[in-house]
């Protein structure tokens, strides 16, 4: 079978590997669509594990089931989550599923940029979800990123009328825009890319601002002379961190949905005196995924129009180039050669 092996953002090699064999309790899935995540092209983060097969936003069709699998059958259309909690450890007992060690270390084999994927028993049990007819395979590649955004915003408890500054208007930023607008918040979005600023407006932002020209005064001028109640950081540049800290209102919250490569340096005195809450968000739990599927099925969140490009598996390198340069693309989806 074909796999797209990551060596670097500029070096994606199509290689042949044996089709995985499944054991009891496992399933074999034929990949039908796999999204390229922003973290997939975060080279400083990925290069440490190269060469490897990436892809964790995968949907496909079950072509074989192992002994003991009862919930699924051959031919089922599924989305498969790569990270799942164990539901047995201390963190899971506290409902803190994204702190579970199993969630951080488990995966399917190989990654989603492959013709066929073996899904381990724990992922079959906790991380495999039937797709409603309303959700296409391409739509399903947005389930995991939207689940992560839901998990992040669960910490914020946004209220109607609050002002939300979203720094970075890529895929995650636009998902946050749509979720915040569902809660009737006032949303201001920034980015250095005019293409993405136009997309931010299309998907519901009340105001947009080029990050190169951003200032606190400009924020106040469109926000009733106030800073933002909530800031969501969806960009990994150091300037994004600086802008977040300078833009949050007293007693406000900053959610770091993305972080820079280097350690954060923060003004602790200001954060202390103004009682700023700092939050970080990584991953999604199965309950977040279930909520996501309902939102997409019912067209509450527009994910379909966020998919701007599709590439064949054999041309995954082109997809990585589009996603890493991110000049005129949002979500890039890899599909099997025969489906392109």
- The DSSP line for 29-69 is EEEEEEEE-GGGG-HHHHGGG-SB----EEEEEEEEE-TT-
Going by DSSP bridges, is the β-strand pair 11-16/128-130 parallel, antiparallel, or unpaired? unpaired
25 SS3 class: coil
Task: Quote the pLDDT of residue 76.
Answer: 98
Q: 230: part of which helix (H) or strand (E)? A: strand 228-233
> Sorting pLDDT into bands at 50, 70 and 90, what band is 128?
very high
Cα 211 from Cα 27, distance rounded (Å): 46
CA angle (327 as vertex; 83, 168 as ends), nearest 5: 60
> Sorting pLDDT into bands at 50, 70 and 90, what band is 239?
very high
Structural domains in the chain plus CATH codes:
2-142+303-339 (3.90.180.10), 147-280 (3.40.50.720)
Cα 293 from Cα 315, distance rounded (Å): 29
Measured distance between the N- and C-terminal CA atoms of the chain, rounded to whole angstroms = 17
Mean pLDDT of 314-329: 95
- In the chain, what percentage of residues exceed pLDDT 90? 96
Output the CA torsion 292→314→11→148 (10° steps). 0
> Sorting pLDDT into bands at 50, 70 and 90, what band is 64?
very high
Mean pLDDT of 283-302: 97
- In contact, 85 and 143? CB cutoff 8 Å: no
Cα 141 from Cα 237, distance rounded (Å): 26
Q: Which of 44-53, 196-205, 254-263 has the highest mean pLDDT?
A: 196-205
Closest of 14, 134, 147 to residue 80, by C-alpha: 147
Task: Quote the pLDDT of residue 147.
Answer: 98
Q: Which two tokens stand for residue 281?
A: 């968000």
pLDDT at 340 over 90: no
Task: Quote the pLDDT of residue 205.
Answer: 98
């Amino acid at each position: 079978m074909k796999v797209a092996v990551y060596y670097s953002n500029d070096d994606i090699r199509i290689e042949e590997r044996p089709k995985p064999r499944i054991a009891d309790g496992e399933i074999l899935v034929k990949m039908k669509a796999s999204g390229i995540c922003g973290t997939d092209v975060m080279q400083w983060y990925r290069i440490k594990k190269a060469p490897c097969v990436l892809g964790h936003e995968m949907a496909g069709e079950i072509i074989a089931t192992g002994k003991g699998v009862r919930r699924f059958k051959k031919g089922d259309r599924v989305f498969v989550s790569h990270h799942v909690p164990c539901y047995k450890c201390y963190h899971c007992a506290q409902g803190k599923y994204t702190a579970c060690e199993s969630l951080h270390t488990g995966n399917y084999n190989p990654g989603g940029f492959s013709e066929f994927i073996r899904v381990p028993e724990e992922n079959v049990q906790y991380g495999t979800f039937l797709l409603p007819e309303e959700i296409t395979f391409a739509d399903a590649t947005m389930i995991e990123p939207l689940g992560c955004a839901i998990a992040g915003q669960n910490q914020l408890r946004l209220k109607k009328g609050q002002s939300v500054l979203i720094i970075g208007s890529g895929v995650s930023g636009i998902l946050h825009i749509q979720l915040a607008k569902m809660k009737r918040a006032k949303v201001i979005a920034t980015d250095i890319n005019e293409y993405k600023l136009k997309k931010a407006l299309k998907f519901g932002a009340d105001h947009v601002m080029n990050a190169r020209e951003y200032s606190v005064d400009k924020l106040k001028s469109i926000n009733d002379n106030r800073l933002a109640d909530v800031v969501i950081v969806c960009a990994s540049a150091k300037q994004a961190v600086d802008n977040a800290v300078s833009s949050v209102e007293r007693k406000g919250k900053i959610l770091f949905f993305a972080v820079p490569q280097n350690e954060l340096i923060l003004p602790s005195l200001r954060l202390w005196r103004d009682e700023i809450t700092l939050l970080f968000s990584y991953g999604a739990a199965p309950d977040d995924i279930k909520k996501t599927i309902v939102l997409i099925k019912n067209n509450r969140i527009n994910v379909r129009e966020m998919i701007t490009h599709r590439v064949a598996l054999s041309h995954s390198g082109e997809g990585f180039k589009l996603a890493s340069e991110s000049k005129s693309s949002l979500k890039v989806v890899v599909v099997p050669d025969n489906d392109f």
